[in-house]
Structure 1
Amino acid sequence: MRTSLLYKIKEEERILPSKNLKGNEIIFILAFPDIYKYGLPNLGIQTLYKELYLRDDVAVDRYYTDEDQPFSFEYGFKLKDSDFIGISFQYEGIVLNAFKILKAGSIPLINLLREENDPIIIGGGPVANYNPLPLSLVCDVIVLGEAEEAIHKIIDSYKVYRNVKRKRMKFLQAVSQIEGIYVPCIHGFFQTGMVKQTSPVDINEHPAHSIFVTKNTVYEERVFSIEVRRGCTQRCRFCYMGHRLKPPRTLRWETFKKIVDLAIDQCNVEIIKLFYEGLETRIVEHYLEYIIKKGGRVRIGSQRLEKLSKRIIEIAAISGQRKITVAPETSGRLRKVIGKHEIKDEEILEVVRISSLYGIPDFGLYFILAIPGETFEDLDKIADLIMKVRHQMNKLKNTDGRLEIGINPLYPKPFTPFQYVKLPSLKNIEDRFLYIVEKVKKEGFPVVISNDVVDEKVEKRQKDENENESLVKFETTVFHPISLLQPMISRGGLEIAFLLHYLHSKRFNTVSDLENLLNEFGINAAWYFEEYIDKYCPWKIQKTLISEDYLLKEYFKALNFISTDEECKLNCSQCFNRCIDISTTNYQGGMSNA
C-alpha cells in the first residue's frame, strides 16, 4: 500500500504531530490533482489541513496522484470510505486529474450518479473560483472565495445530517444556504449572481504557512513558505489575484515574527520563502532582515521591478539564491495596456548588473504574448531586451549564467478587465513566439526551447548541443494543448463540464490531437477566443466584490492605451468607492500597515 510514497512521509518534517484517532471522526481528504513534488508546497492545501487538524471531530489526510492507489497519504483511508474529498484546482493543466482521483477511489465521476454513502466532492482553488461551471458535474460543492472559515461551516452542517436518512440531499440543501457555497444540483447553472463569494478572511487569524517541510518537492530544498500579503494593490488588468482577493491584506509584524520563530527555532528550518504581491519595498526589506537576523535564509520569486531594491537582491545573494527574475510582461509601449507604468530597458539592465556583482549567476524574464494592441514592433522590443540582458551578463563576465525566458499566451481570467478580450488564434500566437526566438538566434546566442510537448530526448540533445556559454533558455506553453483548453475552461459553461468528462479518458499530447477530439465532441474552440462584450458570461452566476462597471471601464481604457489610475493603486484597500461593490461584502477588516 502506498509503496512509492511511504519514504516521503518519513522524510517530512511536521509542525503538527500525527493525531491519535478515536475512530468516529469525519474523514476529510485534501486532494491535490498532481504529483507530490508539486502538490506538497501548495499553501492552500496546507492551510486547510491546519484548519481541519485543529478540530477534534475531523481526521484530515492528503492525497496526491503519484500512484493510482485508492488510499490516502498518511493514514491509508480508503477514498471511497471518506466523508469528504476536497480537490484544489490551482491551474487548468491539472483539472483532468480530478477524474483520475475519483477513478482510483471507485467514486462515480458525475455528481448526480453518486449514492448516499459516497464521499462529498468539494472543489476549490483559483480555477474553481473564477469559473465554477466547468467543474459543476464533477464536484458536489464548490467554495467560491476564501475557504478558511467556510470549511468549518461545511463541517458543522454535515454533523447535523451525518446520521439521518437521505443525509446527502439534506446536507447539500443546507450548505447551499451558506455564503460562498455553490451546489450545482441545487443552484443550477444559469442565474446571474445567485451565489455570493465568501467574505474576505483576516489572514492574521488564519495565517497561511507551511505545515510540512521536505526537500522532496519542486524546490529541491527544505523550504518553509509564508503568505505575507494576500491580494495585490497593483491592478494589473490580466491578474485574477489583484482583482478577486479584495481588499489586499498584510500579515502584522508580530504575527510574522511568531511564524518565522516557529520555522527557525522549533522546526530547524533555514530557508524561508515569502509570498508578498505588490508589498511596499520598505516592508519587504524589514521582513527579510528579520529572517537574516534569526540566522535564516530567504527565497524570493518573480519580482516587480519597481519594488526590487539593491538590499533585497543583496539579501537573496547572502542566502545563496542563484536566480533573480523580473516580469516586464511586454514592451514598454504596451505596459499601459496591462495597467502598469512604462519601464526602461536600462532599469532592467541595472538589476542584471547588481545581481551579477552580488554573485547571482542566473537571470529570468517573464513575458505575456497577445496583449491587446500587440504588433511586430512590440515583439522586436521584447527580443531586443532579451538580447540586451544576455549581452549585459556577458559583459559582466557572467557567460556561464543562464538567462531563462518565460513566454506564455495571455489567458483571459474572469473578474479581471481582460475577461472580455479577443485573442488571436493559437497558430498566430505560436508564430509570435517563434518570431522572438528566431531574432535571438540570429544574434548568435545558443537557444533551448523547453516545453511539455518537446520529446525528452530532443530536449536533452538541445541542451547537450548548447552546453556552451551565453545560453538563452525559453520556457513556454504555446505548443501545449493546455493553451487551447485554458480559455475554454476559464470562459466556458456547462458544455465544458461535459467536454472535460469526455476528455478525461482520451490521450492528447499535441494541440492537433486535442483539436481532433474537440471536432469529435462537436465544439469549436475558436468561440472561446472571441471578445466577450456581447456574450453570455457563465462565470457570472457568482457575485463577487469587484464591480462590473469598473472592469468594463478598465477594459476600454486598455484598448485606448490608458493606464490604471495611480491613486487607485496607492490607496487600494483604503477606498471602497472605485472597484468594489460594497453591497457584496460584510468584511470589517482592513490592510495592516505591518
Structure 2
Amino acid sequence: MVLADLVSWRQIEQAKALISQEQGTFIKDPGGRVSVALVYPNRYHIGMSNLGFQTIYALLNSREDVVCERVFIPDRPLLPQESIISLETQRMLHEFDLIAFSVSYENDYLNILKVLDLASVPLEARERTDNDPLVVIGGACAGFNAEPLANFADLFVVGEGERVVHELIDHYIAWRRSESGREELLKVLAGREGFYVPRFYQIVYHDNGSIAGIEAAEGVLPRVSQALIPDLDAYETTTCVVTQNTEFGDMFLIEISRGCRRSCAFCLMTNLYKPYRTRSPQALLPSIRRGLSFRQRIGLISASATDHPQILEICSQILAEGGKVSVSSLRAESITPQFLDCLAASGHKTITLAPEAGSERLRRYLGKAMSDELIFDRLRQIIAHGIPNLKLYFMIGLPSETEADVEAIVSLVKKIRHTALQATRDKLSLGRITVNLSCFVPKPLSRFERCPMEQVEVLQSKLKFLAGRLNKVDNVQVLTDVPKWAFIQALLARGDRRVGEILKQAHIQGGNWRRAFQCVNLNPHFYATRQRGEQEILPWDVIRR
C-alpha cells in the first residue's frame, strides 16, 4: 500500500466515525441527481454549529433530484498526494456538479482557496471550463461584500439562501438539459434577484485607486438585488444534523428571529438582514418538540433573544415541554425578572452582556443607550436569580474614542465586580467575570462603514494597557483580540476586487500575509485604515440595498 492510499483510508475512517455519531444525516445514491458539495471553510466542530449551513443542507436534500454532501477543512494537514473528500460518501470534490461555500467570516477566505486547490479545481473562475464544478459562494460575507472573492466564484448567492436555493437548482437542471455553455446559465442567473455573477460587472478605477464606476454588461441587472424571506414562519431554521462533536453539541438550535431592530453604529446586522423579522411561538412549537426529542436544552438563536416580543411565551413553551432554555448575547435594557426566571429554571450559570464601550458618552455615540446604573441594576437582578458568572464584550479603537474612554473600561469592570460582590455577599461565592476585548473593524453596511480602522500598533498598546490593569482584578479573566488579524479582517471586509490578488498570493505563500503584501502592488492600508469619502463609490455598492 502506498502512503497516499494509507492516508486516504484514514480520511475515510475519520469521516465514517463522524457520521456514526450523527442523527439526521442524508446519504443518497448520486446516480442521476444534481450533486452539490456544500463546504463550510473551517473544521467540522465549527461548521456544524452554523444554522445557515445546516438549513441549506436540509433544503437541498429535501429534493429527490439533488444529493448534497458536506465538506469541511480536515483536522490534520493533508499530504500533497491527497484530495479533500466529502463527508457522506467520501467522494472527491471535482466529481460534484456544484461546489457551494457557506461563508460567515472573513478569516475563512483563505480556506476557500485551500479547498479548491485540494479539490484540483482551478482557483479563478476565468480558468474553469464547462467540465469543472460550478463554484458558488453564499453566506453573510457574500451579502455584505463579495468583491475580494469575486475572482474565485462563478456565482454568488446574495441574501437569504432559503429564498433562492431551489431556483438555482431548477435553472441548473434546465441548463444541463440544454447542453449550452456555462456562460448561458450564468447570464440567466445574473438577471434574477439574489444572484451576482462578477464576470458581468466591470469595476472602473480612478488614478488614486478609488472606484470610479461599476459597469454592468448588457442583459444583467445594473445592481444586484438581495433575496429576502418576507415571512420566517414559512421556513424552519433549526439544527438538522444532531451531533455531540460541535460547539453546541448539548443543545438543539432554533432561530427565533433574523436581523436586529437596533441600529448600533458599528454593526452591519440591521442593514444586512433588514427588516427585522421574528418567528411566532405557534410556528416554533413543532421545532421545539422535535428538538426536545434529541436534546433537553433548546438554544434560541437571534441577535438578542430579549428583543423578540414574545420571548417569554417561547421560553414558557420550552419549559412546559420539559426542556431547558439557552440564549447567547442579551441587551441589558430588555432583560426582565420574568425572563431571568426562565434562565434560572434552565440552570443558567452565565450571562453575556456587550456594553462595547466603557463610558456612557461613547455608548450613546454607538447607539447603545445603556447607562452604568442600568448595567448595575441588571447585574443585581441576574445574581439574585442565582446566575453568578458574567461575560462582557468591549471594543477598542472605536471612532471618537479617547484615552478616557479606554480607561473607563477598567473603571466599569471594577464597578461591575464591586456590584457583584455586594450582591453575592452571604448568598453565594463571587462568580467569574470574563472580559473580552476586541478591535473595532469598520464593516460594510454599518454607519461606520467609511471610518478608518485604527493602526495596529495603537491597538496593541491599548490592549496591553487594559490587560495589565484588568488582570490585577480578582475574579476577572481577560481575553484579548489579535490586532494583526483584525487588520486582515478589515482588509477583506472593506476590500475591492483587486484584494483578491492579495488573497491568492497569501494562499500561495502558505498563509503568510506579510509576504503576500510584498508580492502584490497594493497597499493594504488603502483598504483597512483609510477614511472613505462621503461621495466615494464603495466596493459593496454593486448590491442594491
Give 2:72's aligned amino acid.
Answer: Y
1:38-187 correspondence runs (5 A): 38-67=46-75, 68=78, 69-187=83-201
2: CA distance, partners of 1:333 / 1:507: 44
**How far does residue 164 in structure 1 lie from its aligned partner after superposition?**
4.3
Q: CA separation in 1, counterparts of 2:101 and 2:46? A: 14
CA contact under 8 A between 1:121 and 1:139: conserved in structure 2? yes
1:482 is aligned to 2:485? yes
Deviation by residue 1:93-144 (Cα, 9 ceiling, x = unmatched)? 1111011211221111111111212111111111121111101111110111
Give unpaired runs (5+ residues) of structure 2. Answer: 1-10, 205-213, 216-221
User: Which one is further off, 318-327 or 348-357?
Assistant: 348-357
What per-residue deviation string (whole Å, max 9, x for no partner) do you get for residues 511-546 of structure 1? Answer: xx63454134232222221211253411111111xx
Question: Quick check: 1:34 aligned with 2:42?
Answer: yes
Q: CA deviation at 1:34?
A: 0.4
Residues 178-212 of structure 1, C-alpha deviation per residue, up to 9 Å, x if partnerless? Answer: 11211112233451752122243421112211101
Amino acid at match of 1:478: V
1:208 equivalenced with 2:209 (yes/no): no
Comparing 320-329 with 23-32, which one deviates more in the overlay? 320-329
Counterpart for residue 477 of structure 2: 473
CA gap of 1:180–1:268, structure 2 versus 1, over 3 A, is: closer
Q: Aligned letter for 1:209?
A: T
Q: In structure 2, what is the Cα distance between the partners aligned to 1:204 and 1:125?
A: 20
Q: Which amino acid aligns with 1:488?
A: L
Pick closer, same or farther for the CA change 1:282–1:120 going to 2, 3 Å.
Answer: closer
Looking at structure 2, the residues matched to 140 and 130 of structure 1 have their Cα atoms a distance apart, in angstroms, of 18
- In the alignment, what sits opposite 2:532? 532
Q: Is the 8 A contact 1:423 1:530 kept in 2?
A: yes
Aligned mates of 1:189, 1:3 — CA distance in 2: 46
In structure 2, how many angstroms separate the alpha carbons of the residues matched to 1:57 and 1:322?
A: 46
How many positions carry a matched residue from both structures? 507
8 Å CA contact 1:210–1:226 kept in 2: the answer is yes
Rounded to whole Å, the distance in 2 between the matches of 1:436 and 1:22 is 55
| Residues in 2 aligned to 1:236 and 1:20: alpha-carbon distance in whole angstroms | 45
Matches within 5 A, 1:358-373: 358-373=385-400
Q: TM-score, normalised by structure 2?
A: 0.88
1:8 equivalent in structure 2: 18
Structure 1: give runs of 5+ residues left out of the alignment.
446-469, 545-594
Aligned in 2, Cα 1:187/1:282: closer, same or farther, shift over 3 Å? Answer: closer
User: For residues 340 and 356 of structure 1, what CA distance do their matches in structure 2 show?
Assistant: 23
Match status 1:390 vs 2:404: no
Which amino acid in the other structure matches residue 431 of structure 1?
A: S
Q: Counterpart of 1:262?
A: 290
> What is the distance in 1 between the residues matched to 2:290 and 2:20?
21
Q: Distance in 2 between matches of 1:122 and 1:338?
A: 35
Match of 1:404 in 2: 434
Tell me if structure 2 keeps the 8 A contact 1:368–1:407. yes
Shift of the 525–318 alpha-carbon distance from structure 1 to 2, 3 Å rule, reads same
Normalised TM-score (structure 1): 0.81
Q: Is the 8 A contact 1:179 1:196 kept in 2?
A: yes
In the alignment, the residues of structure 1 paired with residue 311 and residue 491 of structure 2 have an alpha-carbon distance, to the nearest angstrom, of: 37
Q: Is the 8 A contact 1:231 1:247 kept in 2?
A: yes
Letter in 2 for 1:339: G
2:381 counterpart residue number: 354
Secondary structure of the structure 1 residue equivalent to 2:301: strand
Q: Deviations over 1:243-278 (max 9, x none)?
A: 1211111112211111111212xx332111112335
- Alignment pair present for 1:542 and 2:537: no
Q: Output the CA distance in 1 between the equivalents of 2:387 and 2:27.
A: 43
Q: After superposition, what is the alpha-carbon deviation per residue over 1:332-360, rounded to whole angstroms, capped at 9, x for unaligned?
A: 1112211222x232322333333334333
- What SS does the aligned partner of 1:217 have? coil
Tell me the percent identity: 28
Match of 1:378 among 387, 390, 405: 405
Q: Does 1:324 align with 2:351?
A: yes
Please say if residues 213 and 222 of structure 1, whose CA atoms lie closer than 8 Å, have aligned partners that are also in contact. Answer: no
AA of the residue aligned to 2:367: G
With 156-165 and 177-186 compared, the bigger mean Cα shift is at 156-165
Q: CA deviation at 1:22?
A: 6.2
Question: Offset of 1:496 from its aligned partner?
Answer: 0.7
Deviation at 1:427, TM superposition (A): 1.2
